[in-house]
Structure 1
Amino acid sequence: MTTTPVLHRSARAITISEFRDALRATCPPRFPQAKSLTHRRIGLAVSGGVDSMALAFLCSKIRIGDPYFRISDHPVGCFYAMIIDHGLREGSTKEANDVAEAVEKMGLRGQVMKIHWTEIVGKDRKPNDLPNVETLARQLRYRRIAQFCKMSKVASVLTAHHEDDQYETVLMRLLSGHGYRGLQGMRTATDIPECYDVHGAYQSGIIDDQQLDNPFYNMRPSGRQRKYMRRDLRYEVDPAVLAKEIEEGLDADAIAMYLDDYDAITNKAKRAPPLGPLDVEDGGIMVYRPLLHFSKERLVATCVENGIPWFEDHTNADPTLTTRNAVRHMYKNWTLPAALQKPAILRLAERCRAKVASEEAEADRLLHNVIFHKFENNTGTLVVTLPNFSFPIVPRRSTCSPTGRRKRTEHYRRIAAVTIRKLLSMVTPERELPPVQQLGPLVSMLFPSLVDEGDPPEPKAYVICGVHFIPLVGDFPLRWLLARAPHVSNVPRPFVASHGLALAKRISKHPTTWKPESWAEARLFDGRYWIRISHRLPCTVRVAPFEPEHQKPFREALDDRSKNDLLSMLRKYAPGKIRYTLPAIYSIYDVSNLLAGGNWWPDWQSKAADGSQEQTDEVGTLSENIRTKTLSEVFAGRLEWEKDVRERGKPQLLALPTLGISLPGLDDWLQWDIRYRKVDHRLLQLSKLGDFRLGRRELRFRVRTQYRYRRKRLRKPWKSSASWRPWR
C-alpha cells in the first residue's frame, strides 16, 4: 500500500550538521601557519530575540559528537553569552537577567553588561532624548563587548544576523542610492566595529600574544621544520659551495647589496645607520555571522521545536522609530514589486559581491607588477613604480570600436583605483578609504595610458585621504613617494598623553628612588602607530608630531654621534616635510636637570650620597604632619614650586621613538614600545622583496654609475678577475 507523502509548507528547524557547515564556511583560519591546539572561548552576542536565542541553542549543541570542533584557529572551549542591558526602556534589566537564566539552562555561561549612560550624557539628560541614540547605543555596545573579550581572551564573536536582516540592509542601501560596492550587504566575517582605537580588539594584539610563554597562536617551527632549517644553513656555509659561487661571480642580488652605498658616496654625506623595522600589528577580535543564509522562519522553527523561549522587543514594531523598522513594516504589510522582493534583492547582493571579488582579484594580480622599492614603517613612507596598462595587440572588435575601447578603459580605471586604495591602506592615517569614484583624477595622473581624451596631466604632488603623492623624477622610470600629508594648521594635532608620577609617590623621596609606573595601555597615534609608555617623570608626557621649533634644541642636546645619526637619518628616511609627521615624545616642561642626574626639588639638601638620610627624616616629618593634619613648610614650598613650573614651563622634546634617538640619560626615566598598525600580509610580502624586484634597466644604471665613480676615484682601470665578472 502506497502512502501519500505529506508536504509541510512551514519552515523546518536548523539541524546541527547544517550549523556546523555554516560555521566552517564562515569562520576559516585567520593564521593557517599557526599550530593552535589550545581550546579557546567563543563569544555570543545575545539580545534575547528569537534569532540570538536560536544561535545560543545551536552553539550549545555544537560540541556534541565533535569536542575538537574549530571556530577560526582554535578548538571551541566554551561559549560566553554577552548580554547588553542598554537601560533605554523599562524592564530592560529584568529582561537581561531572564535571558541570562535561559542561556545558563542551555549549558552556556551568561554575562550581563550594563551601559551607564550617566557617565556619557550626564545626570540631567535622558539618553532617549538624544537624536542619535541608536548610533550611540551601537557604539557603546560594541565597545563594551570588546572590553569583556579582552579580559576573557576571546578572539571570535558570533552574532545572529540572518537572511531577513541582510535583505533589509541591502534594501535600505538601495533606497539611499549606494553603488554596487555598497549593495554587497553585511559580510560574513569582519573586524569588530566601533573599536578602532582599542588595542587588542581592533586589528592588534598578536605581538603581545607571541610574547607569552604559551601563546594562543603557536608560530614556532616544528621539529621537522627546524631540522630542514639546520640542513639549509649548513648548505649555505659550506666552503665548497661558497668557493663555487665566488668562482662563478657575483649575481644581481649580490650587486644590489652594494647599491645603498651609492647614495652616500654621490652625496658626500655620512651614511645613515640602518633602521630596524617596527613590528606590524595583527589579530584582534573578529565578528562572524553564521546565520546569514538562514531565514527568520527557520530560526523561529528551531526555537519552537526545541522549546527555547525568546523575548520580543516591542520597539522593533514601531515603524516611526528607525529606518530599519520602517522598511520592515513596508515589506511585511504591502506587496512590493518583484524586483524589490527578498529573492531578487538577495540575488542582487550576490552579484555585487561577485563583481567586487573579481575586481579585487584583478587588482591583486596588478599589484604583482608594482615594484615596491622601499616601505619604511618607521616613517610611514612607501616608494613604488607603477606599471603601464596595455591594450590587446591582436585586433578585436571590442578594441577597434570606440565604444568597446571606452568600456575597456573604464574597467581598467576601476582596477587602477582599487589598486590605489590598497596602496593607500599602507600609509593613510584615516580610518576609511576614499570610494573608487573619488580617485578618478589620481588615476589619470598615475596611469597616463588610461586617459582617452586629451593629454594626460603632468606628474605633480597630490593629497588625498591624508596621503601625499610625490613624483620622483629622474633617469629611471617615474617613481611615486607615498607619505603622510603634512599636518594642517587649522586642524588640531593628534596626541597621546601619559600622566606623570603621582605626587604622593615622590614628594618625600629622592628622584633616584622614584619607581616607574606600570606600562600604560597602548594607544593609537595618528591612525598609524600603536604606542605605550612607562616612565617615572614628575610631569605629563605627550606623544605628538615632530615640530620644527624643537629640532634645533633637541639636536644641540645630543652627543656628537647621535647628532650625526639624527641628521643623516632625517635626510635619508624623512626628507623635507615628512620629518614633521613623525611621532615625537615631549615632556610638558623642562626635565634636563633630572636626565643629567641632578635633583628635582630646588630646596633638596642631601645629607648622604644617595639621599637616604634625608628621605628618612622627611618621611618621619610627613607621618607627624599627617597626624596633625598639616603640611610641612618644605612640602608646601615644593607644591608651590611645581605648580609654578607647570604654569610657566615649555614643552621639551625627549625622543623620536621611530628613529630610536633620545636625549642622553632618558633610558633611566622613560621607556616606550611602538608598533605599526596592521597592513595586509600580501602587501607586506610584496614590500619585503624591495629592490630585488628592480627593473633590469634601473639596476644596470645604478651599477654603472657606481663603477664609474670608483674607477675615477682609484684612478686606474677596473680589471675583472677570474673570481668576479662585471654585470652584463
Structure 2
Amino acid sequence: MGSRSPTRFLNSVTRPVAVLDFKESLDAICRPQFPAASWAQRRVPVLAISGGVDSMALAFLFSELQKTFPGLQLGSYPTHPACAVTVDHSLRPESADEAREVARTVRGMGSIKSMVRAIRWRDLRRRGIDPATLPNIESLSRRLRYRWLGLTCRALKSPFLFTAHHEDDQYETLLMRLLAGHGYRGLQGIRSANDMPETDGIYGVHKSGLLVDQKSPQPLVNFRPTVRETKKLRHIFTDDKDAGGGDVMLDWDSLDGIHFHPQTPPANEPLLPYLTPLSTEDGGVQVYRPLLGFGKDRLRATCEANGIPWFEDSTNQDETMTRRNAVRHLVGNYTLPRALQKPAVLAMCHRSQRRRRLEEAEARRLLVRAAVARDFDSCAGTLIIDPPTLGARDIGSGRPRRLHDDARREARRPHQRLIAALATRHLMSFVTPEKSLPAPSTVGTVVDRLFPDLAPEPPTGAPAAFSFSGVLFDPIVRPGTPTKWLLSRAPYRSSLPAPDFSVDWRDCSTPPPTDEESTSGLLDTWAEKSHGWRRLVHPKMWDGRYWISLASCVSERFHVRPYRADRAREFRASLPPKTRARLEDLLKHYAPGKVRTTLPALYRADTGSGDERERVRDEHLEMLALPSLGIRLDGLDRWVKYEISYKKVDATLLGGGRGTSSRGPLVGYRGTVGLSRRRRLQRMRHP
C-alpha cells in the first residue's frame, strides 16, 4: 500500500485529479452510440478494477462524479450507479484474498457496487499444467479477462466498460512499439475509445445485440419519435397537405408506416427475383479510457489525498517477467534521451493519430463521393464495387498540361496508393470472415489490380479473379464499361475444416465447451421454452459473418455448415416445384458460381447417439434449410426454427451516385489556386 505523505500532492506539479477534469475527459470520449435514438433506458457503467493505484483512482473519481452529478449521462445514456468488476486471474496464492479486499474497498466508497470474477484454469490444471508457467500467459490472461468483462457487461446490459489506462501506460506502449520497429501507423498508442477486443463471437458484446434488443417488449434503445415529435410531425404533414391541395398518401391517424431508418432499400428490378435483405447487426460494448490524459503521479496523488488504499501486484515489479515490466524499469531507473522522454513521445503519438485520422477521412471521402460500393447483398455476403480512376490524367477535362505534370503525379502516387489501400480495407470488411483486417502495407497487390493506374507497371491481359485475406475478388468485365468487381467470401480450403457449429439436443445436454470456454467458464447454454421448445440463449457467430439462433422441439442434433452441392440435390428434390424454381433463380442471381458454396445451410445429423464432440461426416447430414435465402423444407417451422442476421457493417459507405465533377482525382494533393497561377491560366486561355 502506498504512502500518504502530503508532500506528494501539495505542490504545483503533482496535484490530484479534480472531478470536473474527470468529467470533461469522459464527455470528450463518450460519444452517442446511436445518435438517431430518441430515448434510452438507464445503463450501468462497468469499471474494470484491478486494485492498483490507477484503477482505484478511477473507482473513486466515478464515485465522486455520480455523487456530484446525480443525473449523470454518458453519451446518450442516463446512468445507474457504477459497478466495479475485479477479475481474479488465480495465478498467485494471495490473488483471491486481494480481489475480495479490492471489492470491499470499492463498496466502501458508497455509490459503487462491486463483484469478483475468477478465472479457474480448470482445463489446464486438470492436465497438470500450471498456467503461470505458460510462455503466452500475458496474452492469454488478457483475452480471458476481456471475455469475462464482456459477459459481465452483457449480463448488466451495459454498453460501456471503463478501464484505468493512463498516460504512463500510453508512454510505455509507445516505447515498446518503437523498439519493435513500428511505423507511424503503429505509433498511435492506446485509443481512448474502441470496440471491446478479444470478444469475437460473443453476441451482445462484440458489435452486436441491437436486433435482439429491438425485438424485446421493452427495448433498451428506442428509435421511434417521441409523442411530442410525433405531434409536431403530424402538424407539419397536415400543413403541407393543406398547402399543396393534393392527395397525400399518408395515414394521418398513425405514423407506423413511416420508417426512420437511415438506409433506404434499393428499388426492386423486375427481372430479378426479390429477396429481402438480412438485417445487419449493431451495438456491442465500447471500451473507454478516460484517464489517458492523466499521469500516474496525479492518480497516486488522488488516492493519497482522499485516503484511498491500493494494492501493488508484485509481478509488475519483476522486470524479467514481461516486456512492459522491462520498459517500466528502464524508464524509472534511467534517464533517456530527450527524444525518447515522455513529452516528445506523446507529442509524436498525437501527430501520428492526427495523420491517421486525416488519411482515414480521405479514404472514406473517396468511397462515398465516387460511390465505389455499388451493391451490397447481406443474404449472400457479396459486394459489387466500381473502383474509380485515381492516377491517370483526365484527358477530357480541358485542363492545360503543365511542364511537371508527370513528376507531380509520380510524387503523389505513394499517398494515393495508401488511400486506395485504406479504402480497400473498408470494402473488404463487408465480406471478410477474418477477425482483423490486413495492414495497409500488405494490400499492395490488391491495389495494383483494383486501381491499375496506380500500379508500378501497367497491367497486361484481362483482369482475373484472385483471393486475399478471406475475400474473393471476381472481375465483372463488360465491353465498353470500366471493370467492376464482385467481392465475396473466398472458397473454403479443402485442407482446413469448414466452419461448423452444432447443437445436440438428443440428451438435453449443453453444447460442448471449447478449451477456452472450459478454462474461463464462459458458456452460452440453451434454455427451456414453453411447450417443450428449447432455444439458444444467444445467437452464435458462424464463419465470422452471420449470427444464427436455433430453437427446436425435437431431440435432434443440428449443424450449420456451408452449402454442399451433393447434399443440396436431395434438398431440392424435397421442395415443392414453385419453391424449387425460386431457389434456382435465387442461386443464379444472388449466389452464382463459388459464392453459393459459402452460404450457411442448416443440417440434421442422421447418425446414432455418438459423441457430440466428434465431427459428423458430410454424408450423414440432411439439409433442412438455407437460412440466408429464406428457403426451407415444408413444415420445418413446426419442429425447428431459426433466425439469422448479418454482422455489423458500415452502411454509411453504401449508396449514392458518382458525381460528374471534372475536378480531377479525388485522392491526393490538390494545391490551392493562388493569384499568380490564376493570372497564368488566364493568359493561357486568352492569349
TM-score interval, normalised by the smaller of the two chains: 0.7 to 0.9
Q: Corresponding residue for 1:462?
A: 466
Which of 574, 577, 593 pairs up with 1:560? 577
- The reply to whether residue 661 of structure 1 matches residue 665 of structure 2 is no
Give 1:223-234 correspondences, 5 Å limit. Answer: 223-227=227-231
Taking structure 1 as reference, are residues 657 and 695 closer, same or farther at Cα in structure 2, changes over 3 Å only? farther
Name 2:105's counterpart in structure 1. Answer: 102
Q: Given residue 328 of structure 2, which amino acid in structure 1 is its aligned partner?
A: R
Shift in Å, 1:366: 0.5
- Cα separation, 1, equivalents of 2:248 and 2:57: 65
* SS of match in other structure, 1:287: strand
Q: Residue 550 and residue 230 in structure 1: after superposition, are their counterparts in 2 closer, same or farther (change >3 A)?
A: farther
Matched-pair contact (CA < 8 Å) for 2:206–2:285 = yes
Shift of 1:213: 2.8
Cα distance, 1:680 vs structure 2: 1.6
Contact 2:241/2:248 (<8 A) preserved = yes
Instruction: Kindly report which structure 2 residues correspond to 1:190-209, keeping only aligned pairs within 5 A, or say none.
Output: 190-209=194-213
Structure-1 residue corresponding to 2:14:
11
Does the CA contact (< 8 Å) of 2:210 and 2:281 recur in 1?
Answer: yes
1:665 is aligned with what amino acid?
G
Find the counterpart in structure 2 of residue 680 from structure 1: 650
**Residue equivalent to 2:290:** 290
The question of whether the paired residues in 2 share the 8 Å contact of 1:43 and 1:149 is answered with yes
Residue 545 of structure 1 is matched in structure 2 by 562
* Cα contact 1:444–1:456 (8 A) shared by 2: no
Shift of 1:514: 8.3
Measure the CA separation in 2 of the matches of 1:180 and 1:200.
33
Distance across 2 between alignment mates of 1:406 and 1:291:
44
Once the two structures are superposed, residues 485-523 of structure 1 have per-residue CA deviations (whole angstroms, 9 ceiling, x without a partner) of 11111111001111124379xxxxxxxx98321344211
- The yes-or-no answer on 1:482 pairing with 2:494 is no
* Conserved? CA contact 1:51–1:300, under 8 Å: yes
Partner in structure 2 of residue 530 of structure 1: 547
Q: Does 1:438 align with 2:442?
A: yes
Cα 1:241–1:477 shift into 2, 3 Å: farther
Report if the CA contact (8 A) 1:446-1:459 is conserved.
no
TM-score normalised to structure 2 length? 0.83
Counterpart position of 1:21: 24
> Alignment partner of 1:580: what SS?
helix
Match of 1:71 among 70, 74, 85: 74
Aligned to 1:643: none
If the length of structure 1 is used for normalisation, what is the TM-score? 0.78
Checking the alignment, whether the CA contact within 8 Å between 2:187 and 2:352 is kept in structure 1 is yes
* Aligned partners of 1:82 and 1:113 also within 8 Å: yes
**What is aligned with 2:678?**
none
Q: Pick closer, same or farther for the CA change 1:395–1:82 going to 2, 3 Å.
A: farther
1:650 and 2:620 are equivalent in the alignment: yes
Give runs of aligned pairs for residues 7-156 of structure 1, distance below 5 A: 8-36=11-39, 38-107=41-110, 108-122=112-126, 124-156=128-160
Q: Which residue of 2 aligns with 1:351?
A: 351
Q: Give, in whole Å, the separation in 1 of the partners of 2:499 and 2:106.
A: 44
Deviation at 1:405, TM superposition (A): 3.1
Shift of the alpha carbon at 1:33?
A: 1.6
Please, which moves more after superposition, 577-586 or 202-211? 202-211
Give the Cα separation in 2 of the matches to 1:439 and 1:10: 47
Distance in 2, Cα, partners of 1:306 & 1:395: 71
Code of the aligned partner of 2:297: E
| 121-130 or 350-359: bigger deviation | 121-130
Q: 1:103 Cα deviation (Å)?
A: 0.5
In structure 1, the partner of 2:269 is: 260
> 1:566 Cα deviation (Å)?
0.5
Residue 214 of structure 1 deviates from its aligned partner by 2.6
Change (3 A) 1:460 1:229: farther
Q: Find the counterpart in structure 1 of residue 433 from structure 2.
A: 429
Given that residues 43 and 80 in structure 1 are in contact (C-alpha distance below 8 angstroms), is that contact kept between their aligned partners in structure 2?
yes
Structure 1 residue 114 displacement after superposition? 1.1
1:66–1:576 Cα change, 3 Å: same
Secondary structure at the aligned position of 2:140 is classed as helix
- Report the RMSD for the aligned CA atoms in angstroms: 2.9
Q: CA deviation at 1:155?
A: 1.5
The 1:675–1:397 alpha-carbon spacing in structure 2 relative to 1, beyond 3 Å, is same
TM-fit CA distance, 1:418: 0.5
Separation in structure 2 between the aligned mates of residue 472 and residue 63 of structure 1, nearest angstrom: 58
**Offset at residue 336 of structure 1 (A):** 1.2
Contact 2:42 2:77 (C-alpha < 8 Å) held by counterparts: yes
> How far apart are the structure 2 equivalents of 1:37 and 1:664?
40
Q: Which residue of 1 aligns with 2:681?
A: none
Mapped partners of 1:526, 1:147: distance in 2: 21
Distance 1:385 1:259 in 2: 20
Cα distance change, pair 56–184 in 1 and its aligned pair in 2 (3 A): same
Distance 1:19 1:180 in 2: 29
Once the two structures are superposed, what CA deviation does each residue of 1:199-239 show, in whole Å capped at 9, x if it has no partner?
A: 01111111122222332212111235435665787879989
TM superposition shift of 1:388? 1.3
Secondary structure of 1:184's match? coil
Are 1:498 and 2:468 an aligned pair?
no
Matched residue SS, 1:497 = strand
Question: CA 1:399–1:199 in 2, change beyond 3 Å: closer, same or farther?
Answer: farther
Q: Which residue of 2 aligns with 1:712?
A: none
Q: 1:257 to 1:194 in 2, by over 3 A?
A: closer
Query: What do the CA deviations read for 1:55-85 (whole angstroms, capped 9, x no partner)?
Result: 1100001123422221122122111110111
Shift of 1:131: 1.4
Counting aligned pairs with the same residue, the percent is 41
* Contact 1:448 1:457 (8 Å CA) reproduced: no
Go from structure 1 to structure 2 and tell me whether the alpha carbon gap of 1:354 and 1:456 turns closer, same or farther (over 3 Å shift): farther
Counterpart amino acid of residue 534 in structure 1: A
Aligned position for 2:373: 372
- Indicate whether 1:183 and 2:187 are aligned: yes
Contact 2:47 2:82 in 1 (8 A): yes
1:316-363 CA distance string (max 9 Å, x none): 110100000001111111111111111111111111101100001111
SS of residue matched to 2:149: helix
2:671 alignment partner in structure 1? none
Q: Which of 553, 566, 577 is 2:594 aligned to? A: 577
Deviations 1:524-558 (A, max 9, x none): 00000010100123321000000121121111110
Quick one: distance in 1 between partners of 2:609 and 2:142? 45
Is the 1:427–1:482 contact (alpha carbons within 8 Å) kept by the matching residues of 2? Answer: yes
- TM-aligned CA distance change 1:259 to 1:682, over 3 Å: closer
**As a proportion of its length, which structure holds more helix?**
1
The one-letter amino acid paired with 1:43 is V
Asked if 1:384 corresponds to 2:385, the answer is yes
Paired position in structure 2 for 1:166: 170
Per-residue Cα deviation, 1:243-279 (whole angstroms, up to 9, x for no partner):
9xxxxxxxxxxxx999833xx4xxxxxx52x111111
Q: Aligned pair in 2 of structure 1 residues 457, 430: CA closer, same or farther (>3 Å)?
A: farther
Once residues 367 and 82 of structure 1 are traced to their aligned partners in structure 2, the CA distance between those partners, rounded to angstroms, is 41
Structure 1 pair 225–681 and aligned structure 2 pair: CA distance change class (3 A): farther
Is the 8 Å Cα contact of residues 66 and 81 (structure 2) preserved in structure 1?
no
Distance apart, 1:7 and its partner CA = 9.6
| Letter paired with 1:548 | A
1:408 aligned counterpart, secondary structure: helix
Write the distance in 1 (CA, Å) between the matches of 2:266 and 2:651.
Answer: 25
Separation in structure 2 between the aligned mates of residue 533 and residue 647 of structure 1, nearest angstrom: 21
Post-superposition CA distance 1:289-337 (Å, at most 9, x none): 0000100000011011111101101111101000000011111111111
Aligned-partner Cα distance in 2 for 1:201–1:233: 40
Report the alpha carbon displacement of residue 662 of structure 1 after superposing the two structures with TM: 0.7
Gaps of 5+ in 1: 1-5, 244-255, 265-270, 505-512, 591-637, 641-645, 697-728
